[in-house]
Chains A and B, each alone.
Chain A
């Protein structure tokens, strides 16, 4: 009985091996095209009766910095997160946020033609990205060399930054790392806002303030996408609570509730928003 049972198992294993080594590797596309028979199906497309998925595309860090600059953002030294702080980031959560911080810092330096610091920022971004598993571009890539050789040429540097971002986007899609990409964006957004409000310390209510207000309207979708990720942990929960508090504060203003287009905030409101952004950012660097 025992021998018979073992023979059955041996036969099953052999059969399965043959099945696996069969024509599975042949050109399945051709095989598929040969299936002429099409199933009869209902061609009507009822939008209420479909499977739906949703994602959001946010503006890039250099796009945000560019509109800030066009709105009057001036260059201030020492406003961005120092590259020496890199050693402060130990967890994957902290590193992902830091990649975002440094991405905005890099964009800020480049669009203000302060390129001396830019290569160091890029290097830290690539190192931290690699440490969290995003290695679309490595620190010894030709693109990085080209970036260093382009110092002083804002257009060229922005073009290379775009190339690096494009390769990173492709890597993230290939490796299903969108959750981490979202956290990086969030860090870039927060640092961008921090730079914007630091540069607007006099709380003037002109174009730059309007841009800050505009960025606040992105926060709602940012929170909803972050909530839909699989990210978790104490750090993440605490960060989410802070973002929600910031959103609640912004949404509590009548100017926001009644606005059509970008709300125009008063000096006190700008100060409240700015203080909350500074506190949050400084607690994370």
Chain B
């Protein structure tokens, strides 16, 4: 009887693992191609870094915040690549001057038109910032997802800096 019980639990484990195996992920993200394409658009700025955010489709609203630490007197170009966002999901990119929860937080830039490739040069912003608070606003996914299917994607943000920019008359009390 003991061996029968052991056989039963083995079978249960097997069935459980099979049901996990049936979970299929549809990933819209082609990271390397997306990152490479985005990087090419940086010129003449020099590559500083990239943040590839994995997106998971959910039935509720999500916000992913990325803080960009910037150096004074340095111009930046920030490129967002939405080509890895799953069909049916929108991602609005909104940049604030302060983190969520801070008083008098203001939007300094936003892109809600759904274009795949969007660019921002910090020189075009009205204020001067040492940090930018980028938010990806993702409304709840509205399409029906078949059982056993998980949908994923990504947003790629690539940052370039202009190393030739340098002024000594800013950001200090002297």
Contacts and interface: CB of A to CB of B under 8 A. Distances in A.
Contacts of A230: none
A38 B60 contact: no
Q: Is the interface of B mostly helix, strand, loop or mixed?
A: mixed
Contacts, number: 187
Nearest to B23: A24
B126 interface: no
6 contacts: A55-B64, A62-B46, A63-B46, A63-B71, A67-B73, A264-B172
A173 B7 CA distance: 41
Contact of A16 (B8, B18, B26, B130): B18
B117 interface: no
Q: Which 6 A-B pairs have the closest CB atoms?
A: A173-B52, A162-B47, A261-B171, A50-B61, A16-B18, A35-B144
Given A5-B4, A28-B149, A50-B60, 16 more contacts: A6-B7, A12-B11, A16-B19, A39-B142, A45-B137, A50-B62, A56-B66, A57-B157, A60-B47, A64-B71, A170-B32, A170-B50, A173-B52, A214-B72, A262-B172, A264-B173
A214 B173 contact: no
Contact of B14 (A16, A173, A174): A16
Given A51-B58, A170-B32, A16 B143 contact: no
Given A2-B4, A19-B22, A260-B173, A59 B70 contact: yes
Contacts of A58: 49, 69
Interface string B1-43: 0001001100100110011011010100001100110010000
Interface string A59-72: 11011101100110
Contacts of B157: 57
Contacts of A51: 58, 60-63
Contact of A47 (B72, B100, B159): B100
A162 to B, nearest CB: 4
A217 interface: yes
Nearest to B150: A28
B49 A17 contact: no
A67 B71 contact: yes
Nearest to B164: A70
Contacts of A264: 172-174
Contact of B69 (A13, A67, A218): A218
A38 B142 contact: yes
Nearest to B78: A57
Contact of B166 (A31, A57, A67, A158): A67
Nearest to A206: B168
Nearest to B47: A162
A56 B52 contact: no
Contacts of A5: 4, 8
Interface string B145-172: 1101101001001010101001010111
B69 A53 contact: no
Interface string B109-137: 00000000000000000000010000001
Interface string A11-33: 01100110110001000110111
B87 A33 contact: yes
Given A32-B151, A35-B143, A54-B66, A46 B18 contact: no
Nearest to A218: B69
A28 B18 contact: no
Contacts of B67: 54-57, 221
A270 to B, nearest CB: 14
Nearest to B165: A70
Contact of B146 (A35, A169, A207, A261): A35
A166 B47 CA distance: 8
Contact of B39 (A46, A53, A166, A218): A166
A264 B18 CA distance: 63
Nearest to B130: A217
Contacts of B139: 43, 45
A176 to B, nearest CB: 9
